[in-house]
Structure 1
Amino acid sequence: NIVAFDESPKKEGLLYVGTDDGLIQISEDMGKSWKKQNSVAGVPETTYVSCLKASLHDENVVYVSFENHKNNDFKPYILKSTNKGGSWTSIVGNLPDGEVIWNIAEDHENPDLLFIGTEHGLYFTIDNGVNWTKLSAGLPNIAIRDIDIQRRENDLVLASYGRGFYVLDDFSALRDLKKIEDKEDYIFPIRPSLMYNQSSPFGWRKKGHFGDNFYTADNPPVGAVFTYYVAEGMQTPKQIRKKEEAKKIKANEDIPYPSFEEFTKEDNALKPYILFTIRDEQGKVVRKLKASASAGMKRIVWDFRYPATGAIRKNGGKNTFANEGGGLPVMPGNYTVEMAKVVGDQITPIGNKQSFITRSLYNQRLAADPATQKLKLEMQELNRIFSGVNQEFSLLKKQTGLVKLAIKATPNSTLEMMKQALEVEQKLDSLNTVLYGNKSLSKRYKASPPSLNSRLSNAIYNSWGTHEPPTQTQIDDFKIVQNHMDQIQQDLKNIKADLRKLDTELDKIKAAYTPGRL
């Protein structure tokens, strides 16, 4: 029975056929005549031909794989012919026993880059089979029965046995692996990055309101993908100690207990990391991203956005805006990215600078207009200021409430102190109406003028979901908020000064502590 078939893409009519009893038959005249090979050196007779793959680059080259597990033989068999199947040479290389081979794929650009699907995953070689490396990040230990390549995007598509499909997005970095053979840090070439906004077909992110029983697969993250290599990882003192202790355990040696000075040094040590700096055509820093300091080949995605300008908050000890949650989108154009390693307070550039281009999907919208970019940067700055105003307002409101409680709880406080506190509270209420609107009217469904916060939301946050220029309404709202900011900031400073005066009076009567008085 015929179980493997392929036609040379370089020569019409050059056909290869493999059977389930180990035969290979070759025709060079579209099947009018055939040459039969009853056996291949190094392969047991009647071994199942699992795949035949004619080269995309050379009509004389063809690859074949066999699998013999039904005869309790789990060795990998993969061979190459450079004379249209006239003779065969094994390219098993360093493949381990037990890796039955099911499929072969050849890169459409680099003839030395091959992929094979095996019983336990996926392997690739960049030297035509001399050395094989397993690709396992994100891929379970499963049989890969079919492989295909999406040539436009350089995506590797895998079909597994019983575990669905897997896609390796843009494997083009594998073509340049020889550039890191000298063990230097390196950022691989970056393909043109398409800017677009993801749709929400189910009303919200991912599954929307459909629940867990509704299956959806994650899309690749939107952004410029940086594939990079770190030759030597950086470790904390604790990680170094643990590594040394593991060696001693393996050697059956005693492990000394660290001193308290060593523990203190470990506890106070800053975790090293890799810092990526993205710049525009003028060399201005657009964004900085942090990544793990571990060694190896990795990826990080920049979401085409400026850094978040909202006030910094802590969430579970982690900066919410560390890498994710960026600000407004940047303009399409040319950018560069560089790497540096950060250890303690030392920043050391590593690797190379890599240039890349971003452009709108289909090139239909938003040319790189300097005026639009300038306006969006001004919006970013206004968002930074307004976010600070929000946080300062909330802090002053909280402090005022605590000051009132302290006045009530202190026996020798005066009515004048409470009067001053109520005046501060009244000023904050008036400012609250300007910033956030009249709640008394809104909860009774009475129309009221838009608040500065709602205008800012319309002007800035609605721009986050588009790469198009702001509308005239958004520009008008932006200018209205911008014109109010100086007065709002001055009002907050005056209220803060009034609170500090009250703090002085509370100290005199030895009132209970309130935040801001120390």
Structure 2
Amino acid sequence: LFKTVDQGNNWKAISPDLTANPDERSSAIVSVCESPVEPGVVWAGTNDGNVYLTKDDGVNWTLLNANITGAPQFYWVKRIEASHHAAGRAYIALDGHRYEDWAPYIYVTEDFGATWKNISNNLPEGSIYVVREDLKNPDLLFAGSEFSLHYSLDRGMTWSRFMTGFPTVPVHDLVIHPRDGDLIAATHGRGAWIADNITPLQQLTADVKEEDVHLFDVRPEVQWERTYEWTWVPEKRFYKPNPPTGSTIAYYLRRDIPDSVTIEILDITGEVIWNFDGPPTAGISKVFWNFRKNPPPRTDMQPGQFGQQMRGRGGRSASPAEPGEYLVRLTAGGTILTTKLIIEKDNPGNLGK
């Protein structure tokens, strides 16, 4: 294993050959992960089954294979994920498809590799290519396999398939955006997929699941300024529509409730500027506010000529909400909860800076 401290200009070897077969030219280190919690802690895995750990930045290395009880030998250590929350915790994914073994293998250690636990549990058949721990919620895990993408809310005790509409496809890598909270999946043959705003999953802790009603924090969103260009010349480039402008508001119900769920948006004066109903069903539900205010009420005046020509469609429309801070108020089953919502101003002048 080599290390650089000057952006790749110079490299220094910090380990001996860590593979199980030093004389085999195809043996190699295929997974490396440095602890984001404790400097100097580095995990390394090879394509012939070795798992190593150094706690002093490569001065000394410890082979951990004998501690991983029940793990098959010589399988690729496809991924190592050092925890973002505990220095001694790490996850490994073993891939045995080259030996015609398609079973999932995910192990976790809490004590720097002294002991390991298999947390594959109810994962379906399919070699695991990547495992990720959430940046904010230590109990939230994601795993990409030969066939699908799964998540766990209890640190691997149980797993569920992620995201309705996600294709049956190999998932080779996963990244959680540290600022926006998006989950990005790299697939084999179906491009990159983005699950926008996994904030509700990040906040769905064991304590939250015991609440009858919970309103999740709302991610700040930008009110984008849009420009339109009209031309009669056919486009030479491919364009895809941008995501809609607005905020996603998510809430959790422990069980179904008989009444509807009401969500209101209030401005700084306390005036309700938008309101809508949400599903009263158990689980996580989402509603979307497009940053528009309720339209003003219609008057009893007769429409003008323009309104007559438009067959009554000449009335006033909903006006956009200005950037700033707003309040979300949720009413469900007699419970009233609030959280803030921030609309950020678009600043196109900063593009390229």
Fold shared, TM-score > 0.5 on shorter chain: yes
**Deviation of 1:51 (Å):** 0.4
What pairs up with 1:107-506 in 2 under 5 angstroms? 107-177=134-204, 178-182=206-210, 184-200=212-228, 203=230, 215-232=238-255, 274-292=261-279, 294-309=281-296, 327-339=318-330, 349=333, 351-361=335-345
| Aligned: 1:93 with 2:80 | no
SS where residue 199 of structure 2 aligns? helix
Q: Tell me how far 1:279 sits from its aligned partner.
A: 2.1
Question: Which consecutive unaligned segments of at least 5 residues does structure 1 have?
Answer: 236-271, 313-320, 341-347, 366-518
1:78 to 88, 97, 106: 106
Match among 54, 58, 64 for residue 27 of structure 1: 54
State the shift of 1:110 in Å. Answer: 2.4
1:273-325 C-alpha deviation (Å, 9 max, x unpaired)? 6542222233322112244555432322211111245979xxxxxxxx9xxx9
Distance 1:217 1:158, change over 3 A: farther
- CA distance in 2 between partners of 1:122 and 1:350 (Å): 37
Residue aligning to 1:423: none
The structure with the greater share of residues assigned to strand is 2
Give the match for residue 309 of structure 2.
none
Listed as ranges, the gaps of 5+ residues in structure 2 are 1-27, 300-312
SS at match of 1:174: helix
Residue 487 of structure 1: aligned partner: none
Q: How far is 1:182 from its partner?
A: 3.2
Count residues with an aligned counterpart. Answer: 305
* Equivalent residue, structure 1, for 2:302: none
1:175 Cα deviation from its structure 2 partner: 2.7
3-state SS of 1:73 partner: coil
Distance 2:137 2:51 in 1: 26
**1:58 and 2:86 are equivalent in the alignment:** yes
TM-score by length of structure 1 reads: 0.52
Measured against aligned partners, the alpha-carbon deviations of 1:127-164 in whole angstroms (never above 9, x if no partner) come to 22222232122422222111112211122211111111
- Contact 2:323-2:345 within 8 A present in 1 as well: no
- The answer on whether the counterparts of 2:209 and 2:254 sit within 8 Å (CA) in structure 1 is no
Q: Distance in 1 between matches of 2:260 and 2:117?
A: 45
Partners of 2:64 and 2:344 in 1: CA distance:
54
Distance in 2 (alpha carbons) for counterparts of 1:361 and 1:56: 32
Q: Cα offset for 1:191?
A: 2.5
State the alpha-carbon separation in 1 of the partners of residues 333 and 328 from structure 2. Answer: 12
Looking at structure 2, the residues matched to 326 and 356 of structure 1 have their Cα atoms a distance apart, in angstroms, of 26
Which structure dedicates a bigger proportion of its chain to helix?
1
Aligned equivalent of 1:43, options 61, 71, 77: 71
Q: Output the TM-score relative to the length of structure 2.
A: 0.74
State the alpha-carbon separation in 2 of the partners of residues 209 and 68 from structure 1.
54
Distance 2:129 2:317 in 1: 44
SS in 2 for 1:219: coil
Tell me if structure 1 keeps the 8 A contact 2:45–2:52: yes
Distance in structure 2 (CA, Å) of the matches to 1:127 and 1:54:
17
Contact 1:187 1:351 in 2 (8 A): no
Amino acid at match of 1:6: C
Q: Could you tell me whether the CA contact under 8 Å between 2:95 and 2:104 is conserved in 1?
A: yes
2-side partners of 1:360 and 1:339: how far apart?
22
Comparing 213-222 and 165-174, the one that deviates more = 213-222
Given the superposition, is the C-alpha separation of residues 24 and 3 from structure 1 closer, same or farther in structure 2, using an over 3 Å criterion? Answer: same
Q: Distance in 2 between the 1:44 and 1:17 partners?
A: 17
Distance 1:352 1:364, change over 3 A: farther
Offset of 1:83 from its aligned partner? 2.1
Task: Call closer, same or farther: CA 1:233–1:197 in 2, change over 3 Å.
Answer: farther
* Structure 1 contact 229–296 (Cα < 8 Å) conserved: yes
Residue 18 of structure 1 corresponds to 45
Q: CA deviation at 1:119?
A: 2.2
Alpha-carbon distance in 2 for matches of 1:112, 1:294: 24
Assess if the C-alpha contact under 8 Å between 1:193 and 1:223 holds in 2. Answer: yes
Which amino acid counterpart does residue 158 of structure 1 have in structure 2? Answer: A
Q: Are 2:223 and 2:346, in contact at CA under 8 Å, matched by a contact in 1?
A: no
Give, in whole Å, the separation in 2 of the partners of 1:132 and 1:353.
30
Rg bigger for which structure? 1
Aligned to 1:9: 36
Identify if the C-alpha distance between structure 1 residues 297 and 6 changes in structure 2 by more than 3 Å, giving closer, same or farther: same
Give yes or no for contact 1:185–1:350 (8 Å, CA) kept in 2. no
| Residues in 1 aligned to 2:336 and 2:48: alpha-carbon distance in whole angstroms | 52
Q: Contact 1:334/1:355 (CA < 8 Å) preserved in 2?
A: no
CA contact (8 A) 1:66 1:77 kept: yes
Classify the secondary structure of the residue corresponding to 2:264.
strand
Cα displacement (A) at 1:349: 5.0
RMSD: 3.3
Residues 311 and 102 (structure 1), Cα distance of their counterparts in 2 relative to 1, 3 Å cut: farther
CA contact (8 A) 2:184 2:195 kept: yes
Letter of the 1:17 counterpart: A
In structure 1, distance between residues paired with 2:217 and 2:130: 28
Write the distance in 2 (CA, Å) between the matches of 1:209 and 1:169.
Answer: 34
